[in-house]
Amino acid sequence: MSVEETNVKQNGRFCVLKIGALMAVIYWLIATIRSTILIADSSFFVNIYYPGFWDLALRVITVASMIGASFYLQKKLNEVKSERDTASEELSSINYLIETGDCPVIELDHHLRIKHANKAAAVLTAIKVDDLEFNDVLSTLFYPEDQEQIREFLEQSNQEILDRVVRIKARRMQKCYVTIRAAKELVEGKVSRQLLFLNDVTKFVTELESAEQRTATILAQLDQNPTPILLIDSQQIRFHNQAVQAAVQIPPEQITRETLIEFIETNCRDSEPLLQAIAKTCEESVPQDIETTFTIHGQERNLIIHLEPYGDEADTTAVWVRDITDLRALEHTHEQSISELAEQLKAAQANEAELRAEFEQHTNACRTERNQLIDELSSERQKNADLAAKLESLNDKTAHLESFLAERTSTNEILQDKLAQLQRDNSQLLADLDRMQEQWESILMPIMRTDRSGKLIKINSAGRRLLGLSENELLQSYLAGEQPAKLTDMLLQLDAGEARVSAELEFVHNEQKIILSCHGIKLNKPEGQFLIYGYDVTAFRQAQRELALTLDNSRYELEDVLNEVEIERERMNAILAGINDGIVITDMYNRVIKMNPKAEDVLGIRLSQALERPVHFIIRNHEIIDHIQQTVREKLYNHEFTLEIAPPHEQSIITLDCTATVIHDRNLHDQGVIIQLRRADVS
């Protein structure tokens, strides 16, 4: 607050007391003059100090009453001024909070035109506040397909929240989505003024669209998978891929839980256990594996059906089918090989019996060849033992081969599943890498990766274009003045373990200074590297400096305007006091805001009692309201009429000749009425 404002307030604080004291002095002088005139041979100076006991007592009582009334009026005036200052400060505080708040706020009039928008709304729409004001909010911010619904929402007095997300017109690259909440001021059941609170939900809408795209991609991959996959519950089939359609030979729109059960009962060799297992998995969430035989395309196929509970829902089951027909055929081939080896063993045992019979037959006939035959017999026995050992070895090898084949088959299936999963993960990672690379290059803010020394390792296109950065260069070389020290301190804090560090750095590019609000993040991999990104706040800092200068200039201009207003107010009071007719000034709500002394005398009421009261409270005739409304409605400047009133302190009714004139501001808006009063019985 300036010294001049303080002096004005101090001077105006005791103005009523000063006037009361002045009136007391004037009264004392008038009483002295009267006593001097009425009492012969009396002195003026003696009458001032000691006019007589009764006269002195009367003067003292009158002066005390004046001073007491002045004290009371001064107290009431101070209370009114204090309340007015408090209300003004609260209103300024609320306006400041709305203007500087993070939530975009737009004020609308009853014609849905923008009266004011705060800085957050201008930032959200990328439109200057001056370009937003006095424009229709529907055509300025909303697209044609949403305008009718938003108009209904704004015109309804009982709805404060719009139950949907709408897209607004914003001068920026990305689409902008918001939710709307309205605070409405109602006059006679109609919306006269309202505040729109816009909540930016662009990020959430973008993430939702991205999640829907990823879900569609996963469903497409499952649909193309050669393994039959289903997702069923107790009522319906929620999902099935093309492999299921190819297996059951049923059109996609006809595949239901009932048609699937009918297919199982028709083509499954033992359908009852399979249906019971499906029902048990849906009801009890118990995973199961069922091996059964199906007739598919006229051929019997051995299948393993895997049943697995899916998600958080109790009755939803994921089903996928694995064909093991080739594995069973391979097992059958191994069984045949084992049977052939057993037959060969039986044939060898039969040969041994025949040899023993021949030996017994020839023993009696060939005594001379006994030793030779004994040797041959021993040799044959040794051969038989070797054959038995070989047969046992073959049996062991066969069993080992069977177990090894089973292990290799199981391992091969697991490896195939892992290989397919790795291929899918690799494709997804490559797609994510390409998408991240495109996003890296398309981001408009400078992003760079550095090591502990500040050496640039990777830079996006915005960093090269805006700051002229190059890889394998020190970031400190692009900074000016004390900025390298700030960057070094920022890197040391990140290296010390800080999760996120922010600093404002000043770059020099093409002989221009660019100020970035930089944020640093320490990367987990590779170790010892940091990611730094920043926002260009050069224009914001320049605007801050210009705003400070503008505020200083506005403050001085406001002080001058206040002084001029005070002077004009004193001049108007002097003019009104000098007018012989009574003058009453009302505002646009027919409340008294000004009266001259002549009007107080005519109406028998003081301005302090009539201030902010309805005009018919002081001009006690309800016809005055009709005349004021006619003056405002027809924009009359000398509307003459006559009223009869009964002043509070008079017994008789007096007649007033009145003239009413409408008051306009510079925009020709109605601001009130001036009423000129003159008693008809006084010329």
pLDDT tens across 322-340, in order?
777 777 777 778 788 788 7
CA nearest 656: which of 620, 629, 608, 628?
620
Q: What is the pLDDT of residues 354-383, one digit of tens each?
A: 777 776 776 666 666 677 777 777 887 888
pLDDT (average), residues 30-58: 72
Predicted pLDDT of residue 13: 54
Superfamily of domain 579-679: PAS domain (3.30.450.20)
How confident is the model over 182-197, as pLDDT tens digits?
888 888 778 888 888 8
The string of pLDDT tens digits covering residues 615-632 is 888 888 889 899 999 988
Q: How confident is the model at residue 155 (pLDDT cuts 50, 70, 90)?
A: confident
pLDDT at 92: 76
Most confident of 21-25, 275-279, 397-401, 587-591: 587-591
Q: What is the pTM of this model?
A: 0.34
* pLDDT number for residue 659: 93
Provide the token pair at 529: 């590297």
pLDDT score of 660: 93
**524 DSSP assignment:** S
Mean pLDDT, rounded, of the chain? 80
Q: Are 140 and 114 in contact (CB under 8 A)?
A: yes
Res 105 pLDDT > 80: yes
How much of the chain exceeds pLDDT 90, in percent? 3
pLDDT computed for residue 3 by the predictor? 43
Would you list the domain boundaries of the chain?
3-98, 101-200, 207-323, 329-439, 443-536, 579-679
Q: What is 101-200's CATH number?
A: 3.30.450.20
Question: Given its phi and psi angles, is residue 249 left (phi above 0), alpha (psi -120 to 50 degrees) or beta?
Answer: left
Q: Is 38 exposed, middle or buried (0-12, 13-18, 19+ CB in 10 A)?
A: exposed
Q: Where does the pLDDT of residue 439 fall: very low under 50, low under 70, confident under 90, or very high at 90 and above?
A: low
Asked whether this chain's domains 207-323 and 443-536 adopt the same fold, the reply is yes
Backbone angles phi, psi at 177, to 5 degrees: -120, 140
Which is more confident, 218 or 369? 218
CA separation for the pair 320, 311 (Å, rounded): 15
Position 320 pLDDT exceeds 80? no
Q: Which of 277, 650, 213, 219 is nearest to 432 (CA)?
A: 213
CATH architecture of 207-323: 2-Layer Sandwich (3.30)
Task: Give yes or no for residue 483 having a pLDDT over 50.
Answer: yes
Residue 40: band (very low, low, confident or very high) from pLDDT cuts 50, 70, 90: low
Is the model's pLDDT at 673 over the cut of 90?
yes
In CATH, what class is 443-536?
A: alpha beta
Alpha carbon distance 48, 324 (integer Å):
133
Report the pLDDT averaged over residues 131-139.
Answer: 84
Residues with Cβ within 8 Å of 427's Cβ and at least 6 positions away in sequence, in order, are none
User: Phi and psi at residue 139, in whole multiples of 5°?
Assistant: -75, -25
Mean per-residue pLDDT, 20-36: 78
Confidence tier at 584 by pLDDT (50, 70, 90): very high
Render pLDDT for 499-518 as a digit per residue (tens, 0 to 9). 788 888 888 877 778 888 88
Q: H helices of 117-267, where?
A: 119-125, 129-132, 137-141, 144-155, 202-224, 242-248, 257-267
In terms of DSSP H, where are the helices of 225-324?
Answer: 242-248, 257-267, 271-284
- pLDDT value at position 586? 92
Look at 552 and 2; give whichever has higher pLDDT.
552
Residues 6 or more apart whose Cβ sits within 8 Å of residue 240: 228, 229, 230, 231, 252, 255
Among candidate residues 477, 475, 473, 480, the one with its CA nearest the CA of residue 490:
475
Q: Which of 251, 294, 247, 297 has its CA nearest to residue 270?
A: 294
Q: Over 50: is that where the pLDDT of 278 sits?
A: yes
Q: What is the maximum alpha-carbon separation in the chain?
A: 205
Q: What share of the chain in percent tops pLDDT 70?
A: 90
The one-letter code for the residue type at 426 is: N
Distance (Å) of CA 459 to CA 147, 160, 483, 512: 43, 47, 20, 20
DSSP state of 131: H
- Mean per-residue pLDDT, 87-105: 76
* Residue found by looking up tokens 């001085």 in the block: 556
The answer to whether residue 214 scores a pLDDT higher than 70 is yes
The whole-angstrom separation of Cα 634 and Cα 620 is: 24
Mean pLDDT within 420-428: 81
Please state, in angstroms and rounded to a whole number, the distance separating the CA atoms of residues 99 and 112: 20
590 pLDDT exceeds 60?
yes
